[in-house]
Amino acid sequence: MARTNVILWEDDLWKNFYPISLTHPLFELRAGAFSSLERAKALFPRAQISAVCRKQLQPIVEEMGINTNPDLLPDNTPILLINSRIFLTHRAVNTISRTNNTTVFLSQNIPVALYVVPGDNSWRAFFESLPDDDSYTEIMSNYEAVELDVPIFDSLWDIISRNSQFQEMDFITFFRRKAVPFVGDTNIAIYNPDDIYTGNDVRIDSYAVLDAREGPIIIAQGTHINSGAVIAGPAVVGADCRIMPYTRIRPETTLGSVCRIGGEVEASIILGYTNKYHDGFLGHSYIGEWVNFGALTTNSDLKNNYNNIRVKMPEGEMDTELNKVGIFVGDHTKFGIGSLLTSGTTVGVSANLFGGGLFPKYVPSFIWGSNSDGFVHYKIDKAIETARIVMKRRDKQLTESRINLLKEIYNYYTEDRTAFIVEQHSK
């Protein structure tokens, strides 16, 4: 494909990805080994990447080096717009590259990509407002349409339920022929080594187990796997992670960079920079960044009656149509020791829960408290100070734009938080 400007767009379904989407554009969500942004950069290494996202996220997206201003894009090169909710593949890129006209690409009758020839400025409409059903209908009626065989996801639990498929696809596309020998002891148990990728400076200690018989294992650079840890594929462990002794990472798990993981993790996705250092179970869950799980924090991912699990969001309750669903936790949330969380629990951004026991199934952002002493509004200045301290420990800075975003979330969900506190106090 000729040099192309790539624009990743998010649409009005971002609310379905609560609470992760409060602080992350949809193209930062992980599926398989990468986020949509990382995958686009890998598939279009020569392209300038821009983004259509919510206004409140634009400052932090700009900090990532991603342009959000349409006026900075040239008119003399092709434009390729990509829906952030798709799992982009090499095959899809090859299909798109064969087009010579302005073309909309559809999957499940949803626009997933739009290729625009030089001189056609119709793509600018994407920057006026996030696409919704009406704008999608208009797009489909205005352009030549071509079917594109790509997965498209519509919720966090949808990603989790198909993550093994995404992990397999990423391994085949990006890792199978790039394995780097790791530095490790000879008494490591390795099953199906052809389906194991290890990056540079990976350290694996004695008596660790890497079992790729059921799916590939990807371990990114700088990660340390301690003695006795078991990783069963398909699984992805991001860069600079620390896997504690005797940890069990079970299939379909994706860990982002700089995580500290202990205990048992199954079929879960963690964006990164999260501590689950101690024993406890995390299953079929989607976790943001800068989350801390105290010792023995455990979630359920299956109801005793095996019925479908429902998830409560600020806009209402949703039936996942799945019977294996864990928890969904926003950035900067902390759980004290012995925290218990039932199937389908959602906890917003920067909640601080302690005292153990079974917490409510829906906890808004910026809630502080315990089951025994009750819940209150988490003071925003205290939450920001804690976030700043935690990020500094990993050599990251809490920028002014991220502080402003946290304040905006705090203010927007004040009524939701108040209603929660009143409800809990009445019990």
The verdict on 136 and 229 lying in the same domain is: no
Name residue, tokens 């971002």. 14
Cβ contacts of 303 within 8 Å, gap of 6 or more: 309, 323, 343
| Within-domain flag for 343 | yes
| pLDDT at residue 1, as a whole number | 52
Domain coverage including residue 304: 158-365
On average, the pLDDT of the chain sits at 94
Average pLDDT over residues 323-351: 99
Cβ–Cβ under 8 Å, residues 409 and 387: no
The CATH number of the domain holding residue 164 is 2.160.10.10
pLDDT bracket for residue 3 (50, 70, 90): low
The strand pair at 30-31 and 103-107 is best described as unpaired
Distance CA 341, CA 356 (A): 10
pLDDT bracket for residue 73 (50, 70, 90): confident
| pLDDT at residue 120, as a whole number | 84
| Within-domain flag for 386 | no
| pLDDT at residue 13, as a whole number | 94
pLDDT tens for 4-30 read: 799 999 999 999 999 999 999 999 999
Per the confidence metrics, is the pTM higher than 0.85?
yes
| pLDDT at residue 179, as a whole number | 60
The pLDDT of residue 76 is above 90: no
pLDDT bracket for residue 77 (50, 70, 90): confident
Average pLDDT over residues 268-280: 98
The verdict on 238 and 329 lying in the same domain is: yes
| pLDDT at residue 136, as a whole number | 83
The pLDDT of residue 181 is above 70: no
Average pLDDT over residues 88-114: 93
- Collapsing DSSP states into helix, strand and coil, what is residue 292? strand
The verdict on 236 and 95 lying in the same domain is: no
Q: Which of 318, 338, 365 is the last residue of a domain?
A: 365
The verdict on 73 and 220 lying in the same domain is: no
The CATH number of the domain holding residue 70 is 3.90.550.10
Q: Is the pLDDT higher at 120 or at 279? A: 279
Distance CA 255, CA 347 (A): 19
pLDDT bracket for residue 413 (50, 70, 90): very high
The verdict on 122 and 225 lying in the same domain is: no
Cβ–Cβ under 8 Å, residues 197 and 171: yes
What's the total number of domains in the chain?
Answer: 2
pLDDT bracket for residue 69 (50, 70, 90): very high
The pLDDT of residue 184 is above 70: no
pLDDT bracket for residue 63 (50, 70, 90): very high
Average pLDDT over residues 37-51: 94
| Within-domain flag for 254 | yes
pLDDT bracket for residue 182 (50, 70, 90): low
Q: How many residues does the chain have?
A: 427
The pLDDT of residue 87 is above 80: yes
The verdict on 193 and 336 lying in the same domain is: yes
The verdict on 187 and 276 lying in the same domain is: yes
pLDDT bracket for residue 135 (50, 70, 90): confident
Average pLDDT over residues 403-418: 98
| pLDDT at residue 183, as a whole number | 57
Distance CA 372, CA 356 (A): 9
| pLDDT at residue 424, as a whole number | 94
Q: Which of 365, 397, 417 is the last residue of a domain?
A: 365
Look up residue 194 and give its amino acid.
D
Please report, for residues 303, 327, 419, the alpha-carbon distance to residue 10 in angstroms, rounded to integers and kept in the order given.
Answer: 33, 23, 30
Beta strands in 290-393 (DSSP E): 292-293, 298-299, 310-313, 316-319, 328-329, 334-335, 339-341, 346-347, 352-353, 357-358, 362-363, 367-370, 374-377
Nearest CA-CA partner of 142 in 157, 175, 120: 120
| Within-domain flag for 42 | yes
- CA 278 from centroid of its chain's CA atoms: 22
User: pLDDT above 90 covers what percent of the chain?
Assistant: 84
The verdict on 146 and 221 lying in the same domain is: no
The verdict on 140 and 233 lying in the same domain is: no
Cβ–Cβ under 8 Å, residues 149 and 107: yes
The verdict on 179 and 59 lying in the same domain is: no
Q: Is the pLDDT higher at 26 or at 99? A: 26
| Within-domain flag for 391 | no
